[in-house]
Copies of this chain bind each other. A is one copy, B any other.
Amino acid sequence: MYYGSANVSERQAAPPSLAISTVIFALRPSESSGRPTLWLPLVRRIREPFKGLWALPGGPLSHDESLQDAASRSLRETTGLAPRYLEQLYAFGGLHRSPTQRVVSIVYWALVQPTEAALADVSENVKWFRADRLGELAFDHNAIVDYALWRLRNKLAYGSVAYHLLGEYFTLAQVREVYEAVLDRELDPANFRRQLKSTPEIEETDEFLQGGKHRPPRLYRFTGRPGLDPDNRSTP
């Protein structure tokens, strides 16, 4: 092992490069059932390694921006999205993530509301995929998406993330559909409703959603805070 005894300046001569990537989740109606399911945008690699494969949007960290800013910027540049919910997921730094060089990726995950997701750029090289039906992705991005999904399910159980996948106003049934889509199981409407009703962060409005062929459901609104990250915790 050469590097084991390398001194500081030698190490700095070949530092691992640092990249920022983001897993972006949005709800879209499934093509088959029409029920909402999780989707995420990927970008096609236009150069080696993994040229032609799909990968998470991302890019290098530039000198004058924070990690979160870098995530926001790379998102905006590649997909046109500006998610309201953006949180650090994990730093991936395995030795062989990239065949050509050592790369440490600090990965963020984001939730976007459907209206916003609809505005996302879609092109030859940017496309949305169902989160549960991804093919082989570049690098270790399959594992990263898996972990992001696991985190999403966890946070959902905890509390206040579901609303960031919905618009400002929503029905309780829509919240339930989010839970059902993410957790992949059906929930009892009445019991689920009872729980949400006991959550102080969900505010009843005087509006009702018209247009269904049934009794119009009441619209609600979320009034809580998003994150508990060190980068978010102080924000009052």
Contact = CB atoms under 8 A, between A and B. Distances in A.
Contacts of A11: 60, 62-63
A110 to B, nearest CB: 16
Contacts of A66: 93-95
Nearest to A20: B93
B4 A64 contact: yes
Given A15-B15, A90-B88, A64 B104 contact: no
Determine which residue in A11, A18, A228, A230 has the highest number of CB atoms from chain B within 10 A of its CB, and name it: A230
A218 to B, nearest CB: 34
Interface residues of A, number: 39
A90 B230 CA distance: 8
Copies in the complex: 2
A27 interface: no
Contact of A106 (B6, B93, B233): B93
A14 interface: yes
Contacts of A94: 66
A109 to B, nearest CB: 12
Given A18-B18, A91-B88, A104 B230 contact: no
A225 to B, nearest CB: 15
Interface string A122-166: 000000000000000000000110110010000000000000000
Contact of A16 (B6, B63, B92, B230): B63
A93 B66 CA distance: 6
Contacts of A190: none
Contacts of A205: none
A102 B230 contact: no
A152 to B, nearest CB: 14
Q: Which 9 A-B pairs have the closest CB atoms?
A: A67-B93, A147-B230, A3-B64, A91-B91, A91-B106, A3-B63, A3-B62, A11-B62, A14-B63
Interface of A: 1, 3-4, 6, 8, 11-12, 14-18, 60-67, 88, 90-95, 102, 104, 106, 143-144, 146-147, 150, 228-230, 233
14 contacts: A3-B64, A3-B65, A6-B62, A8-B60, A11-B60, A11-B62, A12-B17, A64-B95, A66-B95, A88-B91, A90-B230, A93-B106, A144-B230, A147-B233
